[in-house]
Chain A
């Protein structure tokens, strides 16, 4: 009697044949259940979740904003690449005929693409309009501005410092040209600044990324402590470490995800708010430059970064703190 019923029980003790499809379905059910459960737990304590998420959001938005600023600066540089102009200042005493000669001489240089003449009168008018010193300038006895040529080099020469120098020399050789100026130095300065900016982005990103790991790790540590009893029971009924770990990993990932969404929101709103004034500013400089915000891809990337930081943070916390909980 005992033997036969034992055999019956043995059949029951083994999981029924469910096949690969059934296994996958059960795993999917379990994951979606765990995911929903983690979500519910976060919703159960909204204040705590909100606080953790906002700290993560701020920590993520700082390097992301800086990254965007650097990225915009680079876009800005590229905008200028096409017209690194050379300004040639002509002696004030030069007459109309001399000016015309200089213009032909300049146009004769093969590296020059275009030449534009700005007379002292034009220069003064432009300056009056744009500078806001209009009324003050009226008190000047004579026009202090020299005649100016704006020279645009051909594309090959633009921005290649070693090629621009001979061109500058050629222009300087023209008798009446007093001084040449190239609007490139500030661009080079901007370039090295953006390079430093990039390095700061990496350093800041690294440090604040670590910060996010710690924040999430700590929050998960508290959750583990709060669910200690449950972990023990799950282990007693044969839950694997992976099973025990899973809800915490989901919680951490969700927390990172929510934080990153907050960061994306902060950045998108902030850049939207700035974009109007930046567009106005760049209009003043006759530039096509527009502020680039995060965009869909950027948002997704930021959220992916947040989620993976959350996952790693909770992984670290879980591996570290589950060991302390008996039974093994």
Chain B
């Protein structure tokens, strides 16, 4: 599903964030991306979201080379992804419902379809009763669950998460991880960047460890404490 082939990202200042990454994540797989801050996790996710373009190498998504994807095709590409952000990127001036509805509105879905899918997504994260609330009224864990509902409401095939538990206590973090596991169970490819090594170890999943822009360790289900 996700295939990196000798991928390098050099920023305009000359800094090499990723150096020849070779990586393959299969459809329906749940993998963790870990490493120190500055190891290249964020850059890797940015490349996947086409927020940045690779300097060299090939990036295949579902067999398609997205290196040379025209700028005008980026929105359509992003609609295939679901992304969960560390700072959840919710809009505080609109309701939980409207926040979750955004990816569907953007895709031009009808109001009826939006209502149906948003409620299904909110039900999935256990926040159906709070659809009229403002995100500002919710707790940190609830806000992150709204962010997850927004990431999956359009049923993406790939779910990316950047430090989704960064600001949460261990109990809430485990809940969030359980949610990700459920999406994997229905066939979504999930890639989570996290440095919460204790939590990752509990998940018993594939762990990809980056170090200074290179893959230092891939495949283990238990990461070392670095």
Contact = CB atoms under 8 A, between A and B. Distances in A.
B89 A232 contact: yes
B154 A8 contact: no
A239 B75 contact: yes
B157 A29 contact: no
Given A10-B157, A230-B91, A233-B91, A238 B75 contact: yes
Contacts of B51: 326-328
Given A13-B155, A238-B78, A29 B71 contact: no
Interface string B38-78: 00000000000111000000000000000000010011111
A243 B155 contact: no
B14 interface: no
B80 interface: yes
Given A5-B185, A233-B91, A239 B157 contact: no
A30 B108 contact: yes
A12 B155 contact: yes
B169 interface: no
B186 interface: yes
Interface stretch (B99-107, B170-178, B201-209, B216-224): B99-107
A229 B91 contact: yes
Interface in A4-46: 5-10, 12-13, 15-16, 18, 22-23, 25-27, 29-30, 33
A26 B108 contact: yes
A326 B106 CA distance: 18
Given A22-B110, A239-B75, A9 B91 contact: no
Interface of B is mostly: loop
A232 B111 CA distance: 23
Contacts of B89: 229, 232-233, 236
Size bracket, chain A contacts: 35 or more
B148 interface: no
Contact of A8 (B77, B78, B81, B187): B187
Interface in B100-156: 102-103, 105-111, 113, 150, 154-156
Contact of B27 (A2, A238, A326): A2
A13 B156 contact: yes
A233 B155 contact: no
A243 B106 contact: yes
Contacts of A230: 91, 93
A251 to B, nearest CB: 15
A237 interface: yes
A240 interface: yes
B105 A238 contact: no
B79 interface: yes
B188 to A, nearest CB: 6
A234 interface: yes
Contact of A328 (B74, B109, B154, B157): B74
Interface of B: 27-28, 49-51, 71, 74-81, 83, 89-91, 93, 102-103, 105-111, 113, 150, 154-157, 185-188
Q: Shortest 7 CB-CB distances between A and B: which pairs?
A: A238-B79, A2-B28, A238-B78, A6-B187, A5-B187, A12-B155, A239-B106
Interface of A: 2-3, 5-10, 12-13, 15-16, 18, 22-23, 25-27, 29-30, 33, 229-230, 232-241, 243, 326-328
Given A15-B107, A238-B106, 14 more contacts: A2-B28, A9-B186, A9-B188, A13-B154, A22-B110, A23-B108, A26-B109, A26-B110, A29-B111, A235-B78, A238-B75, A240-B75, A328-B51, A328-B71
22 contacts: A2-B27, A2-B28, A6-B27, A9-B155, A9-B186, A13-B157, A18-B110, A229-B91, A230-B93, A233-B89, A233-B91, A234-B106, A236-B78, A236-B83, A237-B79, A237-B106, A238-B79, A238-B103, A240-B75, A241-B75, A243-B75, A326-B51
